[in-house]
Structure 1
């Protein structure tokens, strides 16, 4: 199952605060082998999504992405201007 670093959890919570619902989060969808993954805000998980929660941060992972990201960790770099850059790494 995908895990989140502390930085990623903070970034997801900050970004998700823009959603006008308590159950919202960041959704990761597999868009295919040539295009990778898509990240988007979502008010709720879709049917079949795995829900990853870390320190109040919610990430919804579609079933195709869940298989591909099972041994991965999501990290984030938050710049001084507030922009966020996500990266995937291999879990130790």
Structure 2
């Protein structure tokens, strides 16, 4: 199952904790097909039917079914650059393969 770093947890809580966001909001990661390596990350109010929900210290990540399979052995990390832009990065869980970047949000 996808796990989150402390940085990812803090960033997700920050971008979904806006006053106008409903309780339970999170980020959703989706993938068009197993053959596509492109992942999309969006903020959303709630999971869609069939989404896997990963929660860590108040941060919520909703994984579309194909993305959940792809990310099963990954760790989600995040960083904020000097301009305030957020970048998510996927790294293998210990004992897995190499890094794969995720497009900035």
TM-score (normalised: structure 2) = 0.81
- Counterpart position of 2:97: none
Task: Say which is worse superposed, 17-26 or 58-67, in terms of deviation.
Answer: 17-26
Structure number with greater CO (CA < 8 Å, separation at least 6) is 1
Matched, 1:79 2:86: no
Pick from 43, 46, 50 the counterpart of residue 44 of structure 1. 46
Partner of 1:29: 30
Greater than 4 Å deviation, 4+ residue runs: none
Which protein has the bigger strand share?
A: 1
The Cα of 1:82 is off from its aligned counterpart by 2.3
SS, match of residue 47 in structure 1: coil
Max Rg structure: 2
Count of aligned pairs between the two proteins: 92
The TM-score normalised by the length of structure 1 is 0.92
Deviation digits for residues 33-78 of structure 1 (CA, Å, limit 9, x no counterpart): 3451000011000111010011110000011100110000000112
RMSD: 1.3
